Amino acid sequence: MARSNARGDRTPVARHAPLPTRSAFSTLLRFLGIALGVVLVSAIAVGSFIVVDLLNRAGQDAVTLEVAPEVDPPTIGAYPGDKAFSILVIGTDECSEQTTALLKERCTEADGGILNDVNLLVHVSAEPRNVTVVSLPRDLMIPVPECTRADGSVASPMQKQSINSLFQHAGLSCVVKTVSTLADMPIEFAAKMSFDGVMAITDAIGGVEVCIAGDGIRDPYTNIDWPAGLKTISGYEALQFIRTRHGVGDESDLARISNQQQYMSRLAKKVLSSETLTDIPTVLRLAGAVADNIVPSEELKDPLRLAQIALALKDVRFSDFVFVQYPNLTDPDDSNKVVPNWDAAEALWTAVKSGQPLELTGDVATHGGVELTTPAPEETTETPDPTSTEVPDVRTTLPPDISGQTLEQETCAVGNQR
């Protein structure tokens, strides 16, 4: 049997024969192959960790909706094109340690109740997709049905109650049930976000550029003193901007809604832009911010569902992405509250449920909160081609007492100097 040498099992060679040596090039290739393998394995491991992490974070404290319709389990790809869906998003005035340090008296002197001061119903039609975001005023007085709380107790119905008290009354599910009854429309998904979420999501996409007109905004209640012009806001400044009421228009909550729609419009355009959607680190930051800062309904907690919704929205034309304010009138029993304008509201809900894109005829704002800055489209004298096979752009026209703006329009806050 051949004897092994002391250094291993390689057969000895004659001393005068030169040992073969690896070239520098082959050594480099071998090194790159190992490095590539490490990178691929690491990428798979990190990707798996991210997915599992998002699943765990997004599912924490998920809320069961009392009246949510049954939906199919989420799959890879866009939300089914033959199905419309709605999401109710509420913004609460909860204060964490971070926001308490920033807002001070606003948080420390609060009475302990949590109010849903922002209420947005987002409706997405079946394909061809269009999106309508309905802002419901915080002081809207509406009927409230009987609700079952998370602990199983039952909250009594109320004939007339401010919508922003419903989260404290019986939780997210009750807000969804009330709005679903008001609109006579199923609401498949819901989510709650607090002050921290506004700051985190705006930070995740690198800030949002907003526009301030008039004399600039000065509001001691939100500590704003900003000149007129364009301003990129993120973090605490984003929270200040969407909270300011006394700094815009006639200082009413209805003027504030118009300004919040400016912020939401510019935020949506940035999120849906190719620059954001193709920037993987930004997408991951945004996904993490959402997972960490929303409390979803059970049907929304799966990141695959969030991906389905994002894919359903990504190709919606800006002209078919509309923000409107729920039509209202001054409450005859309390001038600080509003009640539904039932006739205009019926026209709005009928238009939304039609599945057709909406045509706005009202002002972009109520109570002077914003002004339109988008240049008017140029008039054309071209005669339509009678042989064209292009399908006409059919729209449902809303009455002029419904205010709002499309995503392609740009508005500026009409600032006040107090």
Six token digits for residue 323: 């923000």
Cα distance from N-terminal residue to C-terminal residue, the chain: 101
Percent helix, strand, coil in the chain, to 5, is: 35, 25, 40
**Which of 193, 191, 175, 192 has the alpha carbon at shortest distance from 67?**
175
Q: Give the three-state DSSP class for 102.
A: helix
- The answer to whether the pTM exceeds 0.75 is yes
Q: In this structure, are residues 314 and 273 in contact, taking their beta carbons and an 8 Å threshold?
A: no
pLDDT tens over the chain, length 418 residues: 444 444 444 444 443 444 445 555 555 555 556 565 555 555 444 444 444 455 555 566 899 999 989 999 988 889 999 999 999 999 999 888 888 888 887 787 766 689 999 999 999 999 999 999 999 999 999 999 999 999 999 999 999 999 999 999 999 999 999 999 999 999 999 999 998 999 999 999 999 999 999 889 999 999 999 999 999 999 999 999 999 999 999 999 999 999 999 999 999 999 888 788 788 888 888 888 888 888 999 998 887 888 899 889 988 999 999 999 999 999 999 999 999 999 999 999 999 999 999 999 999 988 899 999 975 444 444 555 555 445 557 899 999 999 999 999 999 999 986 6
Q: Tokens standing for 403?
A: 């205010």
Q: What is the CA radius of gyration of the chain?
A: 28
Structure tokens at 263: 């912020």
The upper half-sphere exposure of residue 199, i.e. CA atoms within 13 Å in the direction of its Cβ, equals 13
